[in-house]
Amino acid sequence: MEHRGREVGEGVRCGMLERSGNPGWPGRSAKCGMNGPAAATLLLMPLWMATAARAEVSISERKSEKETVVVLENEFVRLTVDVLHGGKVTGFVYKPLEREWLVSGQAMFIDHVWQQTWPGELYDVPYEYEITHRGPQQVTVKVWRSLQRKGMDSLIGVKVERSLSLSDASPVVTAKVAMQNPTDAVKTVGYWSQHIFRLGGMGDNYYVRPSTTGLAVGTFEYLDEGRKRERVGDEWVKAPTDGWTAALNPTTGEAAVFLMDYNDLRWLYNCIGNHTTEWYYDLLRMVPGSRWETEIRMLPLRGYRGVSFASREVVADVRLMRAAKGYQVAFSLGAGEKPLENVVLEARALSHPGRKVIAQEKVNFKSLGYLSEEYVSSSLLPEKSGSVVVEVSITGKGFAHRFEKHFGDYNRTDRLVAGIFDTGYELQPPRKEKTPLGRPAAVKRIPHEGFAAFEAQGQFSDAWRLEDALKLKGKYALTTGHFSSNVYGEQLDNFPAGYKGIMALDVVVLNNVSTNSLSPNDLALLIDYVKSGGGLLALGGWYAFGGGGYADSALADMLPVESGKPFDIQWHREGLPLTLTPSLSFRGRGQEEGHQKDPLANLDLSGNPSVFWLQELGAVKSNARIIATAGDKPFAVVGEHGRGRVACILAAPCGASTADRVLFCEWQQWPKLLGALLQWLSRG
């Protein structure tokens, strides 16, 4: 891969490049960087193909007593929307091959909410509809339906709306999905998008998803010389790293790429045996009048043996090809939403682990269309190069993308490989960027009487005696949400919904709950709340800090400590004695020691309060203050974030009191200590 600055497509006028030796393959191969039997051959397109007028986009209706369908069509696709049966797409013809992708009751763009098991109430019910654009550049049909299933009060009345659009110049199908709460109650709902189809009409489809362990690939394959057909690979990807998923048929080169907003994405899923492509969005807590919107883009493409990366601008694949002595790296690259010019691909092959450069390459693509271009490096990776990561950057006018693909013994082959492998390779998912629903122009705290707190309650929450501490404040109001972990993942059944709910609180308490149970909208609300002067108390346990994923979440910036790794909680058989440091405890912002009476100064430590299960930290941040220790380790740490205050108690309320030691949360003075901490937090 040492070649530099090669150009693909130079000197080609209306040309189609096809690799000789495999004339049936639908992709296009580069004329440079290939040698021997992989040499490129130039095939000129017929003049009528080069000069054909672009077909217009159209939309039509067909109505009778038994059916109401809307047909959207351009030169690339024709899709049929069945209004009376879920408003879903029940016909999808990929016109470059005149192939129907939906057969035997299959459908695309099926609406669900993931609080309901499949098929749910929306799958086959009549929708309302309206044609909102009739051309000439774009056609759009909007369908909608309100949730009505009895017994599901958190869903009833929520309006589900979906608009499907085609333009005159692109194969892309754009779906704009919205959920709206027109009721006078808070609703809790999670959208789920499902697509059931099979590409190519032959062979098995492969499903590719970006995950923290690299590309997760699944399929059905014939094993044992064709006698047994089995599912191969994971169906669930619960730690996606990007907002796309792809289905493809490597035999025909057909691919369907779906793009969605990563910031709203919860899980990716394929029911492989039933040829489904699906994904779940994060849970929404919708206050009255709120509206959530997202966009899905489907790219129907051809010329792909695999997909390693997808975006609105470009779709790419990277694979290794066996050579006489070692391996060559092959790249497939095609346009996403529209044709491109002057696209630069730069790649480095790195050893793994260690990430030492083995080889590198730079390729210029003068033009890219919807049929993929292929480039094969003429340099070799050694036969015994071990585990390799190919790091790729793709740049063009107005965009720059970077991704990498891992190769080990399990996928060092020219074919797409499905399965579950222990690769020793891991990526960190990017942090989600989220603006909370209904964010006002100015975020302000809301005055109120008494002391108001919200507690997200996890395992052993009662042992912390939070209400005993609140009773010391006189008039108080405590609302709660309950943490659970089950087949639907880690969830909270309640959290302050919207700014009016959270800005009227004095303190939010996260009591041994994971960040996975908080939606991105919940976390974004919490960040705004603390920055605006709110108080946050994080209590320890097996689902908190390292075990709760705090280090890799939006909480990390707010906390006064650096969280450890999973299973960071350690048992101390004899107990660690609790010690207070009142000289530092509650000095306020801008105050020197002694300017404020310390509420912990007179607490009686008789009874020897002790800690038996303690969180192991990464570190205490430099601007934080340790107000209590367990032995010589931090127990309670406080800090500030924006105008607000944050405190962490780094222990689990577990262990058995003895004659000479009392578990810290059973200590008689514990409610006073916790109450003083709550009071300090409320004064941000």
In a domain, 56, yes or no: no
> How many helices (H) does the chain have, and how many strands (E)?
5, 47
**Domain co-membership, 502 together with 528:** yes
Q: Are 288 and 242 in a shared domain?
A: yes
CA distances from 510 to 126, 175, 514 (A): 43, 37, 9
What's the whole-number average pLDDT of the chain? Answer: 87
Q: What is the pLDDT of residues 554-577, one digit of tens each?
A: 899 999 999 988 888 999 999 999
* Domain of residue 262, CATH code: 2.70.98.10
- Pair (338, 285) in one structural domain: no
In a domain, 72, yes or no: no
Give the dihedral of Cα atoms 178, 183, 189, 194; nearest 10 deg. Answer: -40
C-beta neighbour count of 344 within 10 angstroms:
15
Burial of 650 (0-12, 13-18, 19+ CB in 10 A): buried
Residues 14 and 104 in one domain: no
288 with 318, same domain: the answer is: no
Task: Select from 262, 285, 302 the last residue of a domain.
Answer: 302
Task: Encode pLDDT of 415-450 as tens digits.
Answer: 788 888 888 899 989 988 888 888 899 999 999 999
Distance of CA 161 to the CA centre of its chain: 22
Give yes or no for residue 54 having a pLDDT over 60: no
Q: Quick one: 288 and 316 in the same domain?
A: no
DSSP one-letter string for 637-672: EEEEETTEEEEEE-B-S-S---SS-EEGGGSTTHHH
Q: Is residue 62 part of a domain?
A: no
Task: Decide: helix, strand or coil at residue 285.
Answer: strand
Please report, for the domain that includes residue 328, its CATH number.
2.60.40.10
Quote the CA–CA distance of 93 and 80 in Å, as a whole number.
9
Lookup: tokens for 234: 């994971």
> The tokens of 29 are what?
């191969």
Same domain, yes or no: 400 and 549: no
Domain final position from 381, 411, 441: 411
> Among 98-112, 177-191, 389-403, 433-447, which is the least confidently predicted range?
433-447
For the cut 50, the answer to whether the pLDDT of residue 177 exceeds it is yes
41 within some domain: yes
Q: Is the CA virtual torsion 654, 660, 665, 666 positive or negative?
A: positive
pLDDT in tens, 335-360: 999 999 999 999 999 999 989 999 99
CATH of the domain at 570: 3.40.50.880
In a domain, 623, yes or no: yes
Q: Are residues 127 and 210 in the same domain?
A: yes
Q: For position 339, what pLDDT does the model report?
A: 96
Q: Give the C-alpha separation, 171 to 358, whole Å.
A: 38
In the chain, the N- to C-terminal Cα span, in Å, equals 57
Do 478 and 592 lie in a common domain?
yes
Residues spanned by the domain of 536: 451-681
Q: Could you tell me if 240 and 371 lie in one domain?
A: no
- Whether 284 and 328 share a structural domain: no
- Report residue 66 CA to chain centroid gap: 40
Of 302, 324, 358, which marks where a domain is finished? 302
Cis geometry, peptide bond prior to residue 96 (ω within 30 degrees of 0): no
Alpha-carbon distance 549 to 543, whole Å?
Answer: 8
The answer to whether residue 70 sits within a structural domain is: no
Task: Please state, in angstroms and rounded to a whole number, the distance separating the CA atoms of residues 80 and 62.
Answer: 10
Contact at 8 Å (CB) between 527 and 597?
no
Domains identified in the chain, total number: 3
φ/ψ region of 86 (left if φ > 0, alpha if ψ in -120 to 50, else beta) reads left
The answer to the question of residue 431 being in a domain is: no
Question: Which two tokens mark 448?
Answer: 């109120």
* pLDDT given at position 42: 29
Residue 34, pLDDT > 90, answer no
Task: Please check whether residue 434 lies inside any domain of the structure.
Answer: no
- Are 334 and 298 members of one domain? no
Asked whether residue 266 carries a pLDDT value surpassing 60, the answer given is yes
